[in-house]
Amino acid sequence: MTKRIIVTGAAGYIGGTFVYEALLNNHYVYGIDNFSNSTSKNIEYFKAKFAKNFYFSELDLSVSKLELKKIISDFKPDIIIHFAGLKSVAESEKKPDLYWTNNLNSTSNILECINEKISFIFSSSATVYGDSPVQPLNENCKLKATSVYGETKIASENLIRKASLAKGIKSICLRYFNPVGSHKDYVIVEDFQNQPNNLMPRLIQTVKNNTNSIDIYGSDYQTIDGTGERDYIHIIDIVEGHMLAMKNIQDIKNIEFYNLGTGIPVSVLSLVKTFNEVNNLNININFVDRREGDVEICFADPTKALNDLNWKAKYDLKEMCKDSWKAANV
């Protein structure tokens, strides 16, 4: 069934990949982005290829509630999918006020503008769990973020829970782990305005800039090789999770929370080695001190998403590494 979808953060890596897949499936999409950490490349592509189904406004949702109200009134969406937000753990520790203002205000403004006729899906994060002693992480684990970024996600989830109960808005918060890879059409670019903080774009940038090594933060964790362990998940699996959440959202009572992860912990060192191996590269590693806000180990128990949404990650680490590098060279 064709949906009318407002997508915030539509120019970005995850939001843009979702927009592309939604448009391929003939949905009508109204994209919103302020290009704070992305460029207009993806938006221009959508306008050219999907002119009949795609609309766009450049908007800062943290300060533009009146403009958002008008968009909602005119477009009449069935659902809003909220990807927009500042997303760097490391940067959030240096600029906490910016993260609180941007991430909380944008979520609050959207919730103030919608009613029970519009469903809501929120792009949350595994950072809400912090440095949990319980692994793998299920949705009932204690929320105790170790970074400002993670704290803004917890606060946003609380806002959504209260709005869902008070206003009858059907809502799903998707807590995803570490997205990497690319859509198989290789048309969506992860184009940064600022220095990337996540591992995969840093690896790609290392090669593109002809530097020989990449800094790895911490080599003294209590893990198999001393580096942090993460649950890396292909971007296509993340997008499929959103599609299934959108399909099933009318079946939930008020609000639900789902982990999107593979359930497989992979060390940072293992990812770098796999990236080198499958792409015939030779990036060297330079170990440096731990980075503030990072946790030792974090991987998902995705059972609830399988049971409720019929969602399961399909792609392995080699496929993630191949697709990330191929997309950077198309």
| Active-site amino acid positions | 149
As given in the structure block, the two tokens for residue 225 are 């090789």
Judge contact between 128 and 158, C-beta under 8 A: no
Angle subtended by helix axes 65-75 and 105-113, to nearest 10:
40
Q: How do beta strands 79-82 and 4-8 pair?
A: parallel
Residues sharing a CB contact under 8 Å with residue 258, sequence separation 6 or more, in sequence order:
139, 172, 173, 174, 175, 241, 245, 302, 304, 305, 308, 309, 311
Half-sphere exposure of 305 (CA within 13 A, CB side): 30
Closest CA to 18 of 294, 242, 256, 327: 242
Q: How do beta strands 266-267 and 229-230 pair?
A: antiparallel
Q: Give 292's DSSP letter.
A: T
